Amino acid sequence: MAAAYPTDEQTVISRGLYRLVSDIIGPECIVHLRRQKNDIRDLFMGCDTSKSSKTVTSGSRAEGFLFKSSDADIIDIDSNIVVVKSNTWHLSNTRDFPNILLMETDIVPPGFALLKCLKYDDRDKQLYKSLVRRGNDLYVSSRIARESCAIDGVSYTHGPCNSGGMIGDEYDIAYTLKCPFWPNQAKSFILRSLRHGWPSFDVMKDICEEGCHFVPINSRVHAYSESADLEWRISTVRAEKKLVYSMNHCQFLCYGLMKIILNEVLKKDPETGELLCSYFMKTAVFWEMSEHKEDWSPLNFICKFWNVFRRIIKWVSTGYCPNFFIPQHNMFLGKVYGRHQRDLMTRLRKLHDEGYQFLLRCPSLNKKLTTIINQPMKARRIITNEKDYVKRTEIEAMRMKLIIASSMIDWPTETGQMIKVLSNTVVLTASSNDMTSSLRLNTHNILQRIAVMLFLTNDTQHRSLSNKQRSWYINIAKSILRKTKSFFCLEKLFHAVCMYRSGNYHKTIDIIHLIKERLQSQQYKYTWNLDGNTVYECKEKGMTYLEILKKLVVSSYTFESELSVEELKLESSASEETIGCEVLFIPPLVF
């Protein structure tokens, strides 16, 4: 597909549209901070070895978008199962995994595989009940595996995912199996990368060394065949995330603009609205970047957008949407065909014939884009260098909020496992400059949890402990709490709960009175009311982010089931019914 080049008018529109989309999606520095938040969460969740699976963020939010329509996409990787390409690897690594599966791709459509069981552990109930006999061999049923992960009354099956809602947020969780090898079907990606120079050699090497995953969904080709329930789709979700991270901001905004058009224009059509999805848009951007990696800048933003949009039109016209990693996998198969394909083609051509004016159909673009089109002289003065228009206070506020958000993680509830997480966290802190503040805050949070666990050990085992042992537990816990830095007064609230649980009610009241007196000061800010000016002024005075949290920022106390008190049992049960987990968030003053 030939690349288009901008006229003078298109250059003006390009700069204006680039800035407009950047204002909607966020400047590069803010997108980077959003990604950091998810990366930190993934790092910490990877430190927890107490779970049989590892969760990793994916989808739009992990890529750096923050659309209202974006769900929280998570892949749940089973840590007890590995998928291999040959028996040779199986024979030399049998000790490492209790369950080993062999991928078979000969008799299934491109992009899919059957998973034959080479070795399994009877104690793995989920895998055991998913096994189906075919001839003399056992295969893993994708349908049974997918359905067994659903939670009755809480989630429902949506493609390969289980979808639901928790604490006011929608989520999609995909049960996933890990394969440490890059699939043979995707070898053309390596050759194409070397030939076109995108992605870079280092990114391509990193992607291939990461391997791939398998998600429990069958192809539309064999939807009604006997083998349909045994097919698993090859997933390159981690590779896609790396490619998005490698984009410059112009490329990322082009991807974002395609998502805006999809959500605000294309999906509004009752007949064809469900035919296209954001994954197709991302794939089109990938192909355009691979074949025309040069000149992605604000000056030709509109041209690059048109190239991507025309690529979608071409795919709909031919009924063939090639997967970026496995081009022989036609992602339109069984979805975009017949009358609906013709209707969608007609709609896309009408939009194309309107020129860039059709972007005015997007409510989020309409008002400002109209000004850009009607006042070209004013549009020429639009600043596209974010260093000249992004306020430092805005960046500081976002950085602080993301540090706070990245600390809200579901920690293990067993002291030994928490100490392992703490050890891994210290290593991560030493090796990461970008995430130091978030990592240190999480280190303090873990220490607080360990201290509370020590109090609870003393509380639940007090009859079997001597006075000396009880005193040791309490003194160690107090010492840990004194040395932690977190939100203002949060460690004191932890201390109050521990004193209450151990029966020291007078000490509990003393701590509560102290907190109440300090909270009456007007200098303290709640996490949801934190402004960038305050953070910026503190940073100018030389304060670290942790010092700002310690001295100025107030957070709600989180009561989880193992840390709760008997008097709040009714409220905890109500929380379980309404948001799906037994957690209470109580502001300090209310506490």
**pLDDT tens across 397-408, in order?**
778 777 777 666
Residue 543, pLDDT score: 85
Higher pLDDT, residue 21 or 42: 21
In-domain check, residue 49: no
Residue 153, pLDDT score: 44
What's the CA gap between 478 and 496, in Å, rounded?
11
Structure-token pair, residue 225: 């065949």
Same domain, 148 and 10: no
* 549: containing domain: 393-586
Residues near 237 by Cβ (< 8 Å), separated by ≥ 6?
Answer: 58, 75, 213
β-strand 231-235 against 212-215: which pairing, if any? antiparallel
Spacing of C-alpha 438 from chain mean position:
17
Residue 154, pLDDT score: 45
At 148, which amino acid appears? Answer: S
Same domain, 325 and 251: yes
What mean pLDDT comes out for the span 571-586? 64
The answer on pLDDT for 236 being more than 90 is yes
Please count the structural domains in the chain.
3
Residue 117, pLDDT score: 94
Same domain, 462 and 511: yes
Closest CA to 552 of 392, 396, 394, 390: 396
Q: How many helices (H) and strands (E) does the chain have?
A: 24, 15
Which segment of 376-380, 388-392, 556-560 scores lowest on mean pLDDT? 556-560
What's the CA gap between 570 and 564, in Å, rounded?
11
Give the pLDDT band (50/70/90) at residue 243.
very high
The answer on pLDDT for 43 being more than 50 is yes
Same domain, 106 and 154: yes
Residue 49, pLDDT score: 61
Higher pLDDT, residue 9 or 166: 9
Higher pLDDT, residue 170 or 398: 398
Q: Which residues pair with residue 139 across a beta bridge? A: 116, 132
What mean pLDDT comes out for the span 75-91? 82
What mean pLDDT comes out for the span 495-505? 75
SS3 485: coil
Residue 383, pLDDT score: 72
What's the CA gap between 144 and 130, in Å, rounded?
5
Same domain, 276 and 287: yes
What mean pLDDT comes out for the span 423-434? 63
In-domain check, residue 566: yes
Residue 360, pLDDT score: 96
The answer on pLDDT for 484 being more than 70 is no
What mean pLDDT comes out for the span 324-328? 98
Same domain, 417 and 285: no
Rg of the chain on CA atoms, in Å: 27
Residue 224, pLDDT score: 61
At 318, which amino acid appears? Answer: T
The answer on pLDDT for 301 being more than 80 is yes
Same domain, 183 and 124: yes
Full-model pTM: 0.83
Residue 511, pLDDT score: 83
Which residue, 337, 370, 389, sits at the end of a domain? 389
In-domain check, residue 43: no
What's the CA gap between 81 and 213, in Å, rounded?
11
The answer on pLDDT for 184 being more than 90 is yes
| HEC secondary structure over 3-58 | CCCCCHHHHHHHHHHHHHHHHHHCCHHHHHHHHHHHHHHHHHHHHCCCCCEEEEEE
Residues near 554 by Cβ (< 8 Å), separated by ≥ 6?
Answer: 487, 488, 489, 519, 524, 525, 526, 527, 587, 588
The answer on pLDDT for 475 being more than 80 is no
What mean pLDDT comes out for the span 156-164? 55
What mean pLDDT comes out for the span 507-521? 80
Residue 433, pLDDT score: 57
How many percent of the chain have pLDDT more than 90? 40
The answer on pLDDT for 436 being more than 90 is no
In-domain check, residue 65: no
In-domain check, residue 66: no
What mean pLDDT comes out for the span 54-63? 89
Residue 527, pLDDT score: 67
Which residue, 191, 216, 244, sits at the end of a domain? 244
Give the pLDDT band (50/70/90) at residue 152.
very low
Same domain, 131 and 160: yes
Q: Helical H runs in 375-466?
A: 376-380, 392-405, 415-431, 436-460
Same domain, 360 and 419: no
Same domain, 93 and 160: yes
Identify the CATH number of the domain in which residue 3 sits: 1.10.1410.40
Which segment of 116-120, 182-186, 454-458, 551-555 scores lowest on mean pLDDT? 454-458
Same domain, 80 and 144: yes
How many percent of the chain have pLDDT more than 70? 74
Q: Residue 137: in which H helix or E strand, if any?
A: strand 137-140
The answer on pLDDT for 364 being more than 50 is yes
B/e letters for 271-292, b = 16+ CB within 10 Å, e = fewer, are ebeebbebebbbbbbbbbbbeb
Which segment of 363-367, 507-511, 512-516 scores lowest on mean pLDDT? 512-516
The answer on pLDDT for 186 being more than 90 is yes
What mean pLDDT comes out for the span 133-144? 93
Same domain, 22 and 124: no
Indicate the DSSP class of residue 2. P
Task: Give CA separation, 433 vs 162, 437, 440, 581, in Å.
Answer: 36, 9, 11, 34
